Chains A and B, each alone.
Chain A
Amino acid sequence: MTITLERHKKPPFWSARNLSYQAYRLKNRPEIIIGVLSLGFLGFVVLVPLFQIIREALTFQRYDLAYQRDGVIGSLTLLHLDRVFNQPISQALFYKPLMNSLKIGFAVTLIAVIVGSSLAWLMVRTNIYFKGTFGAMLVFPYMMPSWVGALAWLTLFKNDRIGGSGGMLTYITGVEVPDWVAYGFLPITFTLAMHYYAYAYLLISGALATVDSELEEAGATCGMGKWKRIRMITIPLLLPALGSAVVLTFIRILGTFGTPALLGLPVRFFTFSTQIYASINARNQGDAYVLALVLIFLAITFIWINSRIIGVRKSYVTMTGKGFRKRESDLGLWRWPLTLLIIVFLLITVLLPMVLLLWESMTLIPGNYSFSNLTTYFWAGKGNVALAYGEPGVIYNKGILDALGNSIKLGFAAALFNGALGLLVGYAVVRGRGARLARWLEGIAFAPYIFPSIALGAIYIGMFSTNIGPIPALYGTFSILVLITVIKNLPFTSRTGIAAMLQIHQSLEETARVQGIGWFRRMFRIIVPLSMSGLVAGMLLTFITAMRELSLIILLISPGNMVLTGVIFGYQEQDMAQHSAAVTLMLVVIIITISVIVRLMSRRVGVGRLSAV
């Protein structure tokens, strides 16, 4: 039975009648309006900058005149590509940093994933002791800047190569620490691995906990043997999480700046990220952009390979820090030794760096780690020309306090904007499910994931150094830090937003619509309160990330928008280890305090009741 759809002829698209109809329609579909606006905004802040740096990398720039006097500014040129890939200088500019980055990337990923998944297995699947405490402590590195370990390493193993003093080891034993222990590949790999295992741990323990129940059913019904079950069910189910742990860690390491800078630059050991930084500082942006593009290309390749192997298009999992307890296997005799092993591990990765930083921040004469040399000057000194170029201690230091204010402002602003943007993206994606707009939006919100931090920073210098239409040049402003932090965190917050929206049945909003309740009130009275618990977790994550971020913003900070991480890096560059240690400790303490407060508060509000019905 066919029916004649031609009965009413549809008016042509541009006719006034149809346009008025489309306008009416649009008014009824807030998710489309929001979707289009978000898509436009994200397209502008994600895709435009990418095209911009591609263009700059391929055209002749004013700074290239130094190398080629007869060049025409703005003309198409392969000069940058040539310099990066095909000249004697390419060895130092590209190939060596590339090899270093890849070597570090593979080594750190390997160690982090092995350590992370072993810990995950112990925590989720065995009867190890002190699970609660361990669970809280193991994610601790996740809250710290990734380069805290590097600072601690320097305190321990520094040698006097770059002038200044030796580290604790030299002080105690008198042995001169060789360069390869103090700087370069070995310490970078070690300290990064001791940070990034936390990512792998979070991802894999989350997956392990959810795999459990499925495994129990399947295993029980088919009567499979234990090992067969693990091989046939657990591993394949864990593979996506393992894959995303590998890719996530690898991309982050490619883009990380702090550790390779602290432990590599003194011996001119360059990785991709530090080379980008060096090129920008040398005013060779063109080279930096080519390097950034290569980095993005590498990241995309990795995501692609991962998805080909695992066969999951988006093999990433939202991070959660939830505790899980399922069926546990008995460790028997190994229970205490393994518990002790974790304790030692935590002492080394969590407590030791803190203690070392505290000690460092209290040594009066650098390199002298005796008790008689302890001082509170770097915390509470009022400034003394004889010490540290006259820099006052932390609590009297205007530069530090201003940066602290900026950091906190940055954290809150980024969290707030990210929460709002995540909610709107989630709303538009979930309400517009199935439509092309929703798919595009979901895709583009995910796009910043593929930009290694340092590369995104490089892109933003290129884009916002001059004004674009009505938008003023943002370089050097506080807004650009907020913007880039929001964008970088968007993949995670939009995931959170989508997940939160999926849990709100659409009839809850539709009822309100039919009852005549307008969009804003629906948002503020229904959608926001119902998605709050999920959003708070996402926003807290953004806050922490924003506070401890260095790689992302190192290229964008200047005295005008200085934040704590920048201050720390500055002190370190000037070899003022006590100051940088003190400020780092302060940063860590603030991050932990605020996240504890937020968690307590959101528990107090009683989110439990909301999930019912």
Chain B
Amino acid sequence: MGQIRLSGIVKSYGKEVVVKNLDLAVRPGEFLTILGPSGCGKTTTLRMIAGLEEPDEGDIMLGERTVFSRSKGVVLPPEVRGLGLIFQSYALWPHMTVAKNITLALKEQRLSKVEIAERLEIALKQVQLTGYAERYPSELSGGQQQRVAVARLIALRPSYLLMDEPLSNLDAKLRTEMRASLKRLHRDLKATTVYVTHDQIEALTLSDRVIIMNKGRIMQEGTPYDIYHHPANLFVAEFIGDPGINLFSGTVANGALDCGDVTIPLPEALAARGGEMVAAIRPEKILVSDQPKDGWQEVKTEILQPTGADTILQVRAGETPITLLQPGFLTLDEGSSRWISFAPEALSFFDKKSQDNLREIA
């Protein structure tokens, strides 16, 4: 267990700069998730930590050890970094039994036979695959293969754990199950963990801390709560949340934000600032009434999407589309009227130009 620290990491393939001056620190024992859209450089970052790719510049430290430093001229190979890595494809060796898959690395470490057998047994037990030791990977289901990949790491006991979308090949139900087992793996190994995904549910449910990445840069770092409730910029606000956040772009006028069809109340500091900005509010934070209320905005229901526990409502205020999320399985008539209101504490405001959240500025 130790920290993982990246500083000033730059990586390019040919002319394309994929990771741009990345600084990142993972605290000992922490579960950190890197979340971002496809192609933003998550896998590349992870592979650089593992030593499978070389950064063009910057330093990487694992614990107190510098494993890469362009300026000091240090590159340690993956073999000696003491990491565990789970690939999206599990990367089980198809010609070896489950037991061989798990013990090959232990043999390399010259552990005693007794110790190896013991670790194998513990690992298989933890992933509930006792009795599967002599099977070949092709004789296992996707979920079982995934568990063998986990067992391999349990047996190896690395102090750093890297996972690259380990759940993306599984169906929805297995995914929930495996999420729990990955969390357990992290807890049991007490390993400093970096988890890469583009699935925000995984990020929000698993992590101590989340990093949102876009185009090779960090957009925001914070706890899942912070990320969800206090997006640092428009990118994060839009990227996190399903259904997506509502955005209203407008100009400050008469102490409120005039967005055409809707007018949004502004805190005083922002009203004084003036100019163009974007207001954002999560669908479930919009207050809804089926009776007209004073000062509430009337909207017309367009599309209903009940998901079971909740219902997503697509409505229109004049021409402006708005998404609402209401608890319960609603059955409304399409075209019926509703009245909505924006609670001031649920609103975020972003500068239109810089796209940054204006709360800190205010």
Contacts and interface: CB of A to CB of B under 8 A. Distances in A.
A609 interface: yes
A533 to B, nearest CB: 10
A18 interface: yes
Interface of A is mostly: helix
Contact of B95 (A25, A510, A511, A530): A530
Given A28-B77, A515-B84, A517-B108, A8 B57 contact: yes
B82 A20 contact: no
B71 A613 contact: no
B54 A516 contact: no
Interface stretch (B85-93, B194-202, B316-324): B85-93
Contacts of A18: 73
Contacts of B156: 515
Interface in B68-100: 70-85, 87, 89, 91-96
Given A512-B104, A514-B52, A609-B138, A3 B21 contact: yes
A337 interface: no
Interface string A504-521: 010110111111111001
A511 B54 contact: no
A27 interface: yes
Contacts, number: 119
Contacts of A334: none
Nearest to A27: B77
Most-contacted residue by chain B among A505, A517, A530 (CB, 10 A) = A517
Contact of A512 (B72, B80, B89, B105): B105
A510 to B, nearest CB: 5
Interface in A498-538: 505, 507-508, 510-518, 521, 525-526, 529-530
A518 B79 contact: yes
B190 interface: no
A75 B55 CA distance: 54
A7 interface: yes
B139 to A, nearest CB: 9
A515 to B, nearest CB: 4
Contact of B82 (A5, A17, A516): A516
B354 interface: no
A512 B70 CA distance: 25
B238 to A, nearest CB: 19
A24 interface: yes
Contacts of A609: 94-95, 136, 138
Given A7-B57, A517-B105, A517-B108, A530 B21 contact: no
B17 interface: yes
B109 interface: yes
A553 to B, nearest CB: 37
Interface string B28-61: 0000000000000000000000111010111000
Given A3-B21, A507-B91, A515-B152, A8 B78 contact: no
B359 interface: no
A3 to B, nearest CB: 5
B50 A514 contact: yes
Interface of A: 3, 5, 7-8, 10-11, 17-18, 20-21, 24-25, 27-28, 505, 507-508, 510-518, 521, 525-526, 529-530, 609-613
17 contacts: A3-B20, A5-B10, A5-B57, A8-B70, A20-B73, A21-B70, A21-B73, A28-B77, A511-B85, A511-B91, A514-B50, A514-B79, A514-B81, A515-B105, A517-B105, A517-B108, A613-B137
Given A514-B162, A525-B104, 14 more contacts: A17-B72, A25-B54, A507-B87, A511-B87, A513-B52, A514-B78, A514-B79, A516-B109, A517-B108, A525-B93, A530-B95, A609-B95, A612-B136, A613-B137
